[in-house]
Chains A and B, each alone.
Chain A
Amino acid sequence: MAMRRTLVLFSVLAVSAGAARAEDGPLVPHFIDETRQAGIDSTYTGEWEYMVGGGVAAFDCNGDGFDDLLLPGGAVPAKFYQNRSSHGSPLSFEQSRSGLELDAVTGAYPLDIDGDGHLDVVLLRSGENVAMRGLGGCRFERANKAWGFEGGDGWSTALAATWEKGASFPTIAIGNYIDRYEDLHPWGSCTDNWLHRPAADGTRRFGPPMPLKPSYCPLSMLFTDWNRSGTPALRVSNDREYYKGGEEQLWHVEPGRDPALYTHQEGWKTLKIWGMGIASTDLNGDGFPEYFLTSMADNKLQTLAKVDPEGTPQPVYRDVALAKGVTAHRPYTGGETRPSTAWHAQFADVNNDGRADLFVAKGNVSKMPDFALKDPNNLLLQKGDGTFLESGDKAGVASMLSGRGAALVDLNLDGLLDLVVVNQSGPAELWRNATERAGHFVEIRLSQDGANRDAVGSWIEIRRGDTVQRREVTVGGGHASGISGWHHFGLGDATSADIRILWPDGGTGDWQAIKADGFYSAIKGKDGAADRIEAWTSTPTR
């Protein structure tokens, strides 16, 4: 098929935005399970070494604009699915050979490591991690040796990446879990996390990995500019089940310096949770990200609590999960009263009303009787007052399978976010978002010349009247799940919006008007020129 797609879908996707909100609350989206019809047939399986992990990667590896999927298999090889969907159509995928089909994969994160315009993928594994170079056309080859990427022999469960100032190669943090050879007494056996920084000689490869000591069995990591300093720090969410003396961590990672933990003297407070996933977005519009941390029973929603008189944020957070209605501590349907187990979390606007909603994948670790065995995923819709309303069951995504990784992405480019969830010992599930009367939207891709072509570390700002939505562009977080592609924004009633990009080098573009319901490439201006915001079109080659 070689049809031309023009993705400024003003007429195709015109919606009655005035109906985006029900009178008594946010519009509940409608998801249709299309797993089987779409051709997805994948199970994350395995024993103890695969009780965690199960992260999905969603990324466009053939340049057609449609996100393809890599689904890990745990003890069996991962499966790669090329997206064959059309605009607004039912979802359709075709399993194909990509080179990514390794076994022992626990999670995957796409990013363009070498800046060649083709997305690469880092495969987290129970065993050697592998950096796979994208060759275009959804083909990949092993690049550990070429890039000096030491894969180690750990049980890797988290990844975060950034481009440090002036670097032509990324810095990748890898979170390593328990010493998997400790079978009698694995508690306290957390292995070292690694920081892969660019080689010191300036060549486009990694130097030897640096241990991030102390390491406390993370299940999620995220480079994030929490204080808007321009230099992301590394947030690490750790599983207290296995560490001794550990806690949640925030690392200074500054160019030319060894990483250093934020200390209690700097304001960082001890928090010990079964840290399993990180989601972030600026929920309250103060310019700083909130962080949702998944755990068992209660989950946490952290908001920045302290800004000193000079306006400098301090790394002090307040838990507002209870106040906002996102503790998500217990199943809300299915009859179970035991507490929940939460994994992947992601903020995204599933009904295009202009407010970030929250998806949480749920599932028992492995028949733990203290916790719910029928543990439905959460879809928490943000209301006008900033609190959230559970709607997973009404929306159709309250699966009782044992969720792990997930991704909310627009798989058929209709402006509505679809959902893929990887389950432990159960089939992966794929839902198409078929919400009627949703709000308007825009979807944005970033690009710039040189290294870091996808502008990781940028902030995208979308302005509607007095409201500004801000999104940090990151690689990491969630639960072992990486997404690289369109940045989706719901616009509610607005038929247009203004956009500007705050680029990783500190440059700030001018506000530019765009129409709703379109897909745009934001291209960093060169030599002082204005950024270009171009309606995105594609001629797929498949």
Chain B
Amino acid sequence: MGMISRRQFGGGLLAAAAGLDFASRPGTVFAPRTARAEDRLAASEVILTWYRLVLELVRHTPTYSPPVASRAFAYLGVTGWEALAATQPGLVSLAGQLNGLTASPAPDATRACDETAMLNAALAAAVGHFFSNTGPTGQRAIRKMTARLTARVAKGADPQAVAAGIAHGETVADHILTWSMTDGGAVVENMGFPLTYALSREPGRWTPTSLVQQQQMPLLPGWGNNRSFATPSGKTCGLPPPPDYSESPGSAFYREAEEVRDAVKTLTPEQRAIARFWSDDPMLSPTPPGHWLSIAMQIAERDRLDAVQIFEVLARLGITLADAFIGCWDAKYRYDLIRPITYIRKVMDPGFEPILNTPPFPEYPSGHSTQSGAAEVVLTQVFGETFSFDDATHVADGIAPRHYASFRAAAEEAGISRLYGGIHFRSAIDRGLEQGRCIGAYAARLTMRG
């Protein structure tokens, strides 16, 4: 597949629907809406409108820890792509390329199918399913979004084509939802924290780092066993063990801890900003995989990508982010490594206070690093090695945008941010990025164009 060509920047705003001006509040990532209510929505607008809601739903659905969020992103992306692939010549279905995915039922070839209505219906069904456990405000927003977008995409369109599009979109969504139910991640209880779990008592193993009762057990210990998407399994792209655990000064493990301790003690304003920028805490942000999705969406809006281009990016990205979390979680529970806060407080400095909250699961490798390495590979393949961009994901939270010269630069910054934040050792970051790049290559190799 060739790279998506880069269009002129700053060329204007996606025309979107009046009455859907939810992104117009000062401080939001996306540009103010300018279109008139009577304008018919373009398919690209429909996609980005739904995905903006998805990023909010991820933030406001307590079950959506990063692994769970990545799973939803994968299925949403595949839903959109499979709907398009069944109706557009030259596009290749992912059936047979993703584990367990079969071909979607074909649309009625005798009827014209409205693409915008199809994608809207597919996304409405998929969002409704994957966020069925969001709260009353999210449910209300899904209902209203569905109603308004459905009305808008029908305006001025051939009713029969719209009906055919809706029927096909819903059929594809249903097909993907059925597939999703058997991956091992469909049911998440107690926000992902097991009610019982045998913690290891061996030195160097993970122990709870939080005063939150729920987090006395580690998050999603079985997630690495889930069915992966493009990689053969969670064990694919395994990584070498971390340095041997040791409390001896001079040991490799001790030195890595010293590096974290010293970094936290001597943080520069820039390092602090980096740590905050990539913190991406669940329930306070779109999560780390949502951050990468946000980057892709900002580029899609800025460069006015069309529906096929958008879903090519969102499907590959969603797939690789989900695979990254499955692979990362497999390794995390294989190595079950202690967090810096536990080690440093025990061995070096009882008063050690990292600036980020330590996540409630084992340390090695760094999840943010693994998924950023994977995202880097996919986005670089799509957009190119020297594709620069601004990332304003957190502007509504008062965090200034940052500029990156390439996806690799962003991924490496995301990785090192965890050391500045005091929650990961160097090995978890370096090996995590490597693991992610290995995983990302699988999604990058998917055939999506004929």
Contact = CB atoms under 8 A, between A and B. Distances in A.
Q: Do A and B come from one complex?
A: yes
A368 B23 CA distance: 26
Interface stretch (A167-175, A238-246, A487-495): A238-246
B135 A48 contact: no
A245 to B, nearest CB: 4
B190 A48 contact: no
Contact of B59 (A187, A322, A330): A187
Contact of B190 (A240, A321, A339): A339
B191 A339 contact: yes
Q: Which of A178, A184, A322, A327 lies at the interface centre, i.e. has the most chain B CB atoms within 10 A of its CB?
A: A184
Contacts of B144: 183-184
A245 B191 contact: no
A48 B144 CA distance: 13
Nearest to A323: B211
A426 interface: no
B179 interface: no
Interface residues of B, number: 39
B62 A370 contact: yes
B214 A241 contact: no
B136 A370 contact: no
Interface in B138-162: 140-141, 144-145, 148
Contacts, number: 99
B396 A368 contact: no
Interface in B57-74: 59-63
A182 B19 CA distance: 11
Interface string A36-55: 00000000000010010000
B137 interface: yes
Nearest to B148: A184
Contact of A370 (B23, B25, B137, B191): B191
User: Chain A: interface secondary structure?
Assistant: loop
Interface residues of A, number: 37
Contacts of B141: 183-186
B214 A187 contact: no
A369 B22 CA distance: 26
A66 interface: no
A366 B139 CA distance: 10
Given A365-B136, A370-B133, A297 B191 contact: yes
Given A329-B214, A338-B189, A188 B148 contact: no
A43 B23 CA distance: 37
Given A297-B212, A322-B213, A337-B195, A48 B284 contact: no
A408 interface: no
B28 interface: yes
B23 A185 contact: yes
A368 B22 contact: no
B211 A240 contact: no
B27 interface: yes
Interface string A318-329: 010111000101
Contacts of B134: 368
Contacts of A368: 133-136
A298 interface: yes
Contacts of A272: 284
B267 interface: no
Contacts of B137: 48, 51, 178, 186-187, 241-242
A184 B25 contact: no
A51 B136 contact: yes
A371 interface: yes
B25 A188 contact: yes
B148 to A, nearest CB: 7
Q: Which of B52, B148, B213 lies at the interface centre, i.e. has the most chain A CB atoms within 10 A of its CB?
A: B213
A369 B133 contact: yes
B396 A240 contact: no
A185 B56 contact: yes
B5 interface: no
B140 A48 contact: yes
Contact of B60 (A48, A187, A319, A337): A187
Interface string A240-277: 11101100000000000000000000000000100000
Given A185-B22, A244-B398, A297-B214, A337 B136 contact: no
A186 B145 CA distance: 12
Nearest to B26: A188
Interface in A301-343: 319, 321-323, 327, 329-330, 337-339
Contacts of A371: 62
Nearest to A318: B211
A296 interface: yes
Nearest to A301: B211
A36 B284 CA distance: 43
Given A337-B190, A338-B190, A327 B27 contact: no
Interface string A360-404: 000001111111000000000000000000000000000000000
Contacts of A245: 396-399
A392 B398 CA distance: 42
Given A48-B136, A240-B283, 12 more contacts: A51-B137, A182-B22, A185-B23, A188-B396, A245-B396, A245-B397, A245-B399, A297-B62, A323-B211, A329-B212, A369-B133, A370-B191
Q: Which 10 A-B pairs have the closest CB atoms?
A: A185-B22, A245-B398, A366-B136, A245-B397, A327-B213, A369-B133, A184-B22, A244-B396, A298-B212, A329-B213
16 contacts: A51-B136, A178-B137, A185-B23, A185-B53, A185-B56, A187-B60, A241-B137, A244-B27, A244-B397, A297-B62, A297-B212, A319-B211, A321-B213, A329-B213, A339-B214, A368-B134
Interface of B: 20, 22-23, 25, 27-28, 52-53, 56, 59-63, 132-137, 140-141, 144-145, 148, 189-191, 195, 211-214, 283-284, 396-399
